[in-house]
């Protein structure tokens, strides 16, 4: 269906995958920008950020395949999410390792809640969508747990970043599901 005309996502299950696809584009770009500035700011983190980026690229591809096979258009916020993610990655990457850990923790924390909610919903109504979401869950959990272990959660900066980034991530999901 790659070249056939695409239709907007209609069911709740389709909208979930459309939003996840846009979200993964945001995640790819957060890690891409952080890996880019890590060269200057914290070279020891670079290979790990690149690994996370490659996981997010795989996730984005899983959701892109689902959308493609079902002839569904991607989310209108797809490019905006990518640009927003890149900007967030640049700023937090330049702030250094504690800000990078707080960013990953905040984003993945919202993502995990969101994926758990989706899996419960999709289990009975869309096995294909459920499989796509289940396939990425463990990677997101690993990202989350790693960031949590690296984060300086008692620092004011971490608290502010987590609050702002959690709110923005929830807003992106809410907007995409409308």
**Residues lying near Fe ion in the complex (CB under 5 A):** 24, 27, 56, 59, 140, 143
From the CB of 24, what's the least distance to Fe ion, in Å? 5
Query: What's the CA gap between 35 and 40, in Å, rounded?
Result: 10
Measured from the CB atom, is 21 or 158 closer to Fe ion? Answer: 21
Measured from the CB atom, is 40 or 149 closer to Fe ion? Answer: 149
From the CB of 142, what's the least distance to Fe ion, in Å? 8
Measured from the CB atom, is 3 or 68 closer to Fe ion? Answer: 68
Measured from the CB atom, is 14 or 56 closer to Fe ion? Answer: 56
From the CB of 140, what's the least distance to Fe ion, in Å? 5
Helix axes 97-125, 127-150, angle to 10 degrees: 160
Strand partners, 72: 7
Helix axes 46-69, 127-150, angle to 10 degrees: 170
Residue facing Fe ion at closest CB distance: 59
The burial of 7, by beta-carbon neighbours within 10 Å (0-12 exposed, 13-18 middle, 19 or more buried), is given as exposed
């Amino acid at each position: 269906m790659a070249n056939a005309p695409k239709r907007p996502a209609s069911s709740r299950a389709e909208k979930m995958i459309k939003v996840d696809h846009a979200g993964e584009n945001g995640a790819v770009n957060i890690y891409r920008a952080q890996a880019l500035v890590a060269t200057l700011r914290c070279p020891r983190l670079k290979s790990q950020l690149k690994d996370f980026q490659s996981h997010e690229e795989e996730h984005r591809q899983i959701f892109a395949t689902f959308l493609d096979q079902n002839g569904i258009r991607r989310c209108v916020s797809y490019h905006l999410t990518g640009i927003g993610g890149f900007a967030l990655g640049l700023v937090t990457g330049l702030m250094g390792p504690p800000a990078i850990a707080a960013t990953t923790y905040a984003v993945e924390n919202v993502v995990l809640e969101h994926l758990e909610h989706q899996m419960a919903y999709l289990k009975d109504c869309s096995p294909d969508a459920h499989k796509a979401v289940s396939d990425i869950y463990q990677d997101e959990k690993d990202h989350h747990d790693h960031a949590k272990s690296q984060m300086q959660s008692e620092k004011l900066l971490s608290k502010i970043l987590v609050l702002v980034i959690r709110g923005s991530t929830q807003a992106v999901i809410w907007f995409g599901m409308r």
